[in-house]
Structure 1
Amino acid sequence: MQIINSIQTLKNTIHPWRQAGEKIAFVPTMGNLHDGHIQLVRTARQQADRVVVSIFVNPVQFGPNEDFASYPRTEQQDQEKLNACGIDLLFLPSVAEMYPQPLQTQVSIKGLSTMLCGASRPGHFDGVAVVVCKLLNMVQPDVLLLGEKDFQQLAVVKQMVTDLNMPTHIQSVPTVRQADGLALSSRNAYLSASERQRAPMLYQALCAVRDAIISGAIDYQALVSQQTQTLVSAGFLVDYFQICRSTDLMPATLADQHLVILIAAKLGKTRLIDNVYFSKQTL
């Protein structure tokens, strides 16, 4: 595994791979790697001749009161995990390397960037879009692997790649969960012991709504309200809980077949997100 810190060295290393016709897969991360990230890397290894992973805690996607300074950084452990996966290249740039001067260019996806998480985290998805755009221009991968846990982020990046005709295929990978259903996340480390015990209720609420829809329930708002109350009673501060079309994340109607139920809530000081995606046509 090569560890590279500069953009120019990254390009110089990848160029002969591309010239040789090798397929390149790319997994962008912010480090503090868990089994969800490793599943992305393993999937990439199956799909390509070369695997590139980046670790970069991107400051422009954090708001003024968010946890950029305290975001877990576990560089040595991350390198060991990636080396064990047999990746070819780890791109580990500094903030100065990625942003040598203040950005004058904005990458913004209308609609998708301002709903759901975007409503409570203004500018977050603009920051995600610009760093992913930069990384895709640097690596120029054949396939980009992203997790479905961050479903809105996945939708934003898909829209950007489509709109800008970027020659990269996006491969989504299902959410990896603990045995009790809690979606793996770097922010789970912030949970206290008591909060960790209650955290799986988020996934349980999603599954309850999904199962009710499968059983024929048609009052979506009532389903969400009931589960929201259960979560609030357990100490969650619910940001949003919505049943959406999976294609554009607009509120779902009864006629829509491909659905995603998304939730974001705070438990103590930790903000958790999760979703379940399903198609009514296959039920």
Structure 2
Amino acid sequence: MPSTNRRAFLGASTVVGLGSLVALGNRHTANAESGPTTNEHGTDSLENWLATANDPRTPQMRDFRFDDPPTVYLDVSNSKSFSPPAIKVAPGTTVTWEWTGRDDEHNVVATDGTFDSGGPDGGTGTTFEYTFESEGVYRYVSEPQADAGMKGVVVVESAPSSGYPAVDEWLVDTNGYDGSVTDRTGENLVEITTGAEGNGGSFAFDPHAVKVSTETTVRWSWTGEGGAHDVAFEDADIDGATINAEPGVHFEYTFNETGVFRYACGPHREVGHRGAIIVE
């Protein structure tokens, strides 16, 4: 972890705990997909908060719960932004903020007082870090540039656990995955919708995690929404479906061996159009 000019602030956390990205009481906002709620920011939802946050890329929640502890960069290319501005981590994760600009002075201050890097400071390589022990939604700003949109959020939430770690890591940032697996064992034919609503458009498989028995045929049916989709397997020697935009059934496969089979829509893999078949 970077340590140059580091200022550590290890005060006690006071946010309301969350079992998922759902606000408890009236204190914290649920997530970027939720509507306005009343909290310490009035009726400003987290979606609105991020809509006014500067970011060199499109603001979106970056999920680091199965990755290395993240670093958030300040003022990349003089953008008056935190990059990325919205991250999700597991409890116990240490987040590091690193200054990149030489001219403007910045700080990192939680709007509810949970953490504070101190007065505005500058200098490439300066860092501040904080360990998030409690689940919750932590909004923060750089005080000198807050009105100009230099704001961010850290969502702290336990990683989903289905009992299949490979599935959880594969689906953790897709379509609100919470560790639930649809049990379709004992059925001869199971259908999965391709191009279902999710991930900010028609970019989801439904169900996106399903458990079947051996000798089950799985059929993928296109909705015709969301553009062209395919079915491409990640770590199995299965020839999936080619790209197709028309509605209808365009691929099926009979699973004769047990295992976890991860797959995705190639064109929309990065936005979360991913799925998994568990064969037992």
Return the index of the structure with the highest Cα Rg: 2
- The answer to whether TM tops 0.5 is no
TM-score of the aligned structures, taking structure 2 as reference length:
0.31
Which structure is higher in RCO with an 8 Å CA cutoff and minimum separation 6?
1
More helix by proportion, 1 or 2? 1
More strand by proportion, 1 or 2? 2
